[in-house]
Structures are given as C-alpha cells and as structure tokens.
Structure 1
Amino acid sequence: MHCLFMEAELVILEKSFLYCCSLLLHSHLWSFIGSIFWQLGRKTKTQVDLLNSMGSMYIATLFLGIQNTTTVMPVVSVERTVFYREKSGGMYAALPYAFGQTVIELPYVLAQALAYGVAVYAMIGFEWTVAKFLWCLYFSYLTFLYFTFYGMMCVGVTPNYQVASIISSAFFGLWNLFSGFLIARPQIPGWWIWYYWLSPMAWTLYGLVVSQYGDITSQMDDGVIVKDYVNSYFGFKHDFLPVVAVVTLGFTVLFAFLFGFSIQKLNFQKR
C-alpha cells in the first residue's frame, strides 16, 4: 500500500505543470463553447429550441471528453516506456503504477468538471436548482473521467501511441453515431439497438438531458409538454435517472480496470 501512494505522489509531482497548462487551455475552450451556445438553455418553447439546448450539452461534453483522451494518450505512452525500465529494475510492479496513473486523474478531472460546470452551466443558461446543477456536474465529471481512462486503456492494450490514436478515433465515431442524438433511440433499427446501450455517450446524453428537461411540465408553443416530448422523441424517462447514473459510473470503473489489467498482463517492450 505504501508503494501505491508513493507512485501516486510521484505522478502528481511530475504532472502538476502539465495539468495546470491543460486547465488553462480548457478554460479558453469553455469560454468559446459558452459563447457559442449563449443562453440556449432557457429556450424551450419550440422543438428546435429544445434540440439546440440539448445539443449544446452534448457537444460540449463530447468535445471536451475527446480533448481529454487525445491529451492523455501521448503522456501515458511515454510513461509506459519508463515503467518498463523501472519494472525490470525491480523498483515497483504494475499495480502501483496503474494505481498512481488512475488516482492522479481523479482530482484533476474533478477540478476540470467544476470549472466547466460553473462556467458553461451559467453561460448556456440552464435552470439554477441544486439538483439539476449537481446532476450536470456528476455526469460531466464521469464523462470527462471515462474519456480520460478510455485514452489510457487504448494505450495500454496497443503497442504504441499511433495505433492507440487510430483505435480511439474509430470508436469516437461509433459512440457519436449511436449516442441517441444524431439518431434518436426510437429510430435506431432493432438489429443495432444493442450498440446504443454499449455506447458510453448514449448514457451521458440520457443523464444530461433527462436531469435537465425530464421533469419540466411547461408546454411548448405546439401544446406538447417538455417532458413528454423528451420521452416520445428520445425515449428518455426521468424515473430511469438513478440507473443511468450507476451505468455511467460503471463505464468509468471499467475503463480504469482495463487499463490496469492491460498494464499488468500485456508487455509490448521490444528487447
């Protein structure tokens, strides 16, 4: 256990400057996204307004999540090479290394999600209630986290950064296609619906949309209640929110576990 926390401490010291620069860069991205979708969250009178509001949440989390993946992969790839050398020297085993790499991401991504949540939530103009804001933070945090762990996992199961980039990019397209936003779940053919449930972004979109709009009883201009439209068009139900929260957490744990497993069982070192 002492080795685990020593490795986590070393990783924190090594990555502090990198994380500060990354947060500074992402702050500009948050401002850019917030200005593009300025106060769209308040507009729910028409179906177009509602789709624009939902799209602003989806695009923001998807874009920043992909940024997390692409940022973490080259760093993990270089550090894995160093790990091979230190492992052969008997400094520490795979478990402390994987533990340190994953644990350090928790506070950094939390800081990222908090800054993103406050800035973007206010700029887009969603309803300021404690429950809605906390749900937005929860799903944003886990989404950024599983994208980060996904990038680490891709590096762990591939021989180099270039292959990991190709594989991760391929799945980005599939996650986006089957997220339920470009093609709503009720419109996805039955023989492809299984992949919808396997797409992490589908659960993120479900959680973000239903937590913000799944309980709104006001009517749109055409007389349809907002929550009824969310249910009929997307197939999202507010009562399903706790399950969505657990599944989203499950994807985060799964990617972190697969990264640790790949580091422990796979060795791409060339002798």
Structure 2
Amino acid sequence: MQLVELDGLKDALVGIPGVSGLSTEQRKRLTIAVELVTNPSIIFMDEPTSGLDARAAAIVMRAVRNIVDTGRTVVCTIHQPSIDIFEAFDELLLMKSGSEIIYAGALGHRSKNVIEYFEAIPGVPKIKDRYNPATWMLEVTSMEAEQRLSIDFAQIYKESTLFWQTDELVKELCTPAPDAKDLYFPADYAQCAWKQFTTCIWKQFWAYWRSPGYNLVRLSFSFLTALLFGTIYWQQGTKINDQEDLLKIMGGMYGAMLFIGINNCFSVQPFVDVERQVFCREKAARTYSPIVYAFAQVVVELPYTLFQTILYGLITYSVIGFHWSVDKFFWYLFVTLCHFLYFTYYGMLTVAISPNAQVAAVISSAFYSIFNLFSGFLITRPQLPRWWVWYYWICPLAWTLNGLVTSQYGDMRKKISIDGKPQQAIEDFLKDYFGFQRDFLGVVAAVLVIFPIFFALLFSISISRFNFQKR
C-alpha cells in the first residue's frame, strides 16, 4: 500500500466506477497493488495513464517508479506521453505500423540516446528546443516521413550497432546457467482448492455485506409482497369450502412466489455482472480456479436467501392462516427456499452467458412466460396436450406449485363443493384436477433440490467458459 501511495486510503471502499469510492487513478494504483501481492519480478501494464489528466497520470507514474526502484522490471505500453512521463522510463521499445521494431534500447538522460539515434539518420529533422521527445519521435518516424525520405526505419535499425548489441544481450540473457533446471509447477494454482474457496467465500461475504442495497431491495420486496398477499388472503388458509376457495388460495400462493422469484432473478443480475468484471481479471492472473469462485458465489447466497425465506414464510403462513403443524410449516419453508434459490441461480446463469446485465435481463424474461404457462396453474397437467406434457415435467414452477399445494392440502379429506359435480375430498380433487398426490411429495422434494443445484452447476460452467472481455 505504501509502495503505490495508498496507505492513507487503506480502509476506503473501492465503490462503483464513476459513482462512488476511489477515483480512476486510485483504482489504477490499487490494481497495480493487487498484482504486487504475489511479489512478481516483472509486471506488464497496458496504458496505465490512459483516461487520466496530467496530475493523475503523474501520480500513477510515480507509483510505477517506486516499484521499479525496488528492483522489479515494469513493461508498459503508453501512448502520447508527456515529457515527464516519457522520461520516467529507462528503456524504450518503439514499433511502427506492422509491429516492426525501429528502436530498442536505453532512453538516456532527457531522452538523449533516442534523440541522437534518430537525428543521426540522414534527412531526419532536429528536435526543437523544449519539444516533447515522444511527440517528435513519432512525427519523424511516421509512415508519411518514411515515404518522404524514402527510407525504412525498421531496416535502418536492423543494420545499426544498437540492434546487434541488443541481439547479443538477448541471446546472453536467454542462455540458461549450466546447473539451471526447467521450471516446474506441481499445481495450476498457488493454493489448494480449499484455501482458494475460503478466500473466495471471505471475499464474497464482504462484497455482499458492503452492498446493502442489493439485499435490502430483495428483503424489502419479500416483506411487502408477503404483507400484500397476506392481507388480501387474510386467514383464508383453512376456510376451504368449495373449488373457488381452493383455487383462490392456490392463486395467492403461486402469485406471491412468482413475483418474488422474478424479483430475485432481476436483483442478482447487476450485482453478479459487476463482480464478474473483477473475476475476469483475477481469472486471467490465475489467482484462483473459476469453479471455486463460482461455488463461493453460489454458497454466499444461501444465508441471505434462507433469511428471506424465513421472513416471507413466517408472515404469509401466519397471516394467510394455513394449518399450524410442524411438518406442514417446514414443508412450506423448504419449498419456498428451493424456489427462491433456483430463481436466484437462474439469474446468475443468465449473466454468465451474457455480455452484460441488460442482455441477461432480456434472456431471463423470455422464459418467465413459458414457466408461467407450463406451471400447471393456468393449464393443469391433465389438460395439457400429450406432446407438451414433457415440458411440464421440466418446468421449475410446476414443481413449486405441486410442493406448496400438496404439502398443505394433499392429505385433507374435507369435502368441498365442485362446480357441476358432487362434493369431493380436497385430496381427491387435487389428484383428479391437478395430478397432485401426497405420496409423490418425496419426489417433488428431490426435484426441488435438483433445480438449484442444476442452475448453480450451469452457472459455474458458464462463468468458467464464457469470456466477454474485449481486452
């Protein structure tokens, strides 16, 4: 932190670029500091001063100079540097269009070596007093200058003494010592998988803790939705006298779960999108395994989703007035938890396969209507055409509705009035009309567990495979 002059900001939050937290040049210095953690002997920087004003660029280059003074080598690509920034470097590698080298060597005090080299070429104009050597160098070696002078700077360099000196130095440095051994790394990463996971989960925990907006939004939405549907269906959970009463309660349960599930999906997308930007950089540096990162991202959601489930479940279960029994209550929480999780992980998956959160929102939205249509509520399974029944069985919402309704009413023998038919027990009506059976509840529970795992695995694979970075 002291090396990049950030010790005064060691407790500051990084924040969101352009919105809060560190400034652009502070973020650049922080990025450099992160790379220094592994104590590398050489560091490559791609345009460290781009997008900065003169003062900010000078601060960044001062930090770079501090790193060089510790004995490390820093290789930078840089465009249109000021005099001070240009002369902060020790060596220069200059290439023209076509990636041909036209100068490689020491810069010299106040760019003396570079200026003397190019001024010695016949036809090249002398540099003016107080003129930026970098600007002059680019002007005199431009394609137009080559055509005007009828020379090839790349060929001139290859025929120069400087080229042969550099070539000999490269050969010398590339020759291994007699007792040197080939580099061998026993593992792809510096730490074992468990250490990577604990580090990633610690990082993700603090990222969530320092992002109260994300969690407050979904918790507030769950609380308000629970109150809204709870007050609409006030104490009607056990007042089932006819088919209409049962369908009304089912509609309330289903609607509330669908609203919150979609909100979970939308809420997580921008958060994961921002986190992915950091992940891509750390993945390129092989800081940790992508699978380990994805697993940590999945696991860190569990406590927050569990709290959301308990908050929503306690309110709706008591206010709507379902039958109070331990098994029914925990079945209700279990189905709700699985439902919230698979919608959350589905949102994470859409981000992993999309270039940004906006595209992810479009992709996820395309399936909401399909999920809703084949959930078994608008069109029950017995009423579906045989060629579409297969989609019912793979629709997550269908299993959520099955689990919610069957766990609460699948064992009730109370007779209710059925439109145009004799009275029928609730258990039998659910079996005949929806295809819900209490004996099938174990399978429903297993499938509800599989869906979050399935989406989490797809997220892990996708975040590892797809890279939408343009750099």
TM-score using structure 2 length: 0.56
Displacement of 1:89 in angstroms is 3.0
Displacement of 1:21 in angstroms is 4.8
Deviations along 1:167-210, one digit per CA (max 9) or x if unpaired, are: 11111110000000000111011111111111000011111111
The corresponding residue for 2:350 is: 154
Displacement of 1:20 in angstroms is 4.1
Using the alignment, how far apart are the partners of 1:252 and 1:172 within structure 2?
16
Task: Structure 1 unaligned segments of length 5 or more: list them.
Answer: none
The corresponding residue for 2:253 is: 57
Matched positions, count: 271
- Code of the residue aligned with 1:266 in structure 2: it is F
Q: 1:41 to 1:148 in 2, by over 3 A?
A: same
Q: 1:25 to 1:190 in 2, by over 3 A?
A: closer
Displacement of 1:33 in angstroms is 2.2
Comparing both chains, which one has the higher relative contact order based on Cα–Cα distances under 8 Å and sequence gaps of 6 or more? 1
The corresponding residue for 2:204 is: 11
Using the alignment, how far apart are the partners of 1:236 and 1:263 within structure 2?
37
Q: Answer with 1 or 2: which has the greater Rg.
A: 2
Give 1 or 2: higher strand fraction: 2
Contact preservation (8 Å) 1:43, 1:53:
no
Using the alignment, how far apart are the partners of 2:442 and 2:264 within structure 1?
26
1:71 aligns with 2:267: yes
Identity within the alignment, %: 48
Using the alignment, how far apart are the partners of 2:436 and 2:293 within structure 1?
40
Using the alignment, how far apart are the partners of 2:249 and 2:218 within structure 1?
27
**Structure 1 residue aligned with 2:282, among 86, 91, 114?**
86
- Code of the residue aligned with 2:445 in structure 1: it is A
Contact preservation (8 Å) 2:201, 2:300:
yes
Contact preservation (8 Å) 1:40, 1:52:
no
Give 1 or 2: higher helix fraction: 1
The corresponding residue for 2:32 is: none
The corresponding residue for 2:430 is: 230
TM-score using structure 1 length: 0.96
Task: Structure 2 unaligned segments of length 5 or more: list them.
Answer: 1-193
Displacement of 1:160 in angstroms is 1.8
RMSD, aligned CA: 1.3
Deviations along 1:120-173, one digit per CA (max 9) or x if unpaired, are: 111111111111111000000000000000000111112221221111111111
Using the alignment, how far apart are the partners of 1:80 and 1:241 within structure 2?
38
Using the alignment, how far apart are the partners of 1:124 and 1:9 within structure 2?
39
After superposition, residues 208-247 of structure 1 pair within 5 angstroms as 208-221=404-417, 222-247=422-447
After superposition, residues 185-264 of structure 1 pair within 5 angstroms as 185-221=381-417, 222-264=422-464
Using the alignment, how far apart are the partners of 1:68 and 1:175 within structure 2?
15
Moved over 3 A (4+): none
Using the alignment, how far apart are the partners of 2:414 and 2:258 within structure 1?
28
Displacement of 1:26 in angstroms is 2.6
The corresponding residue for 2:55 is: none
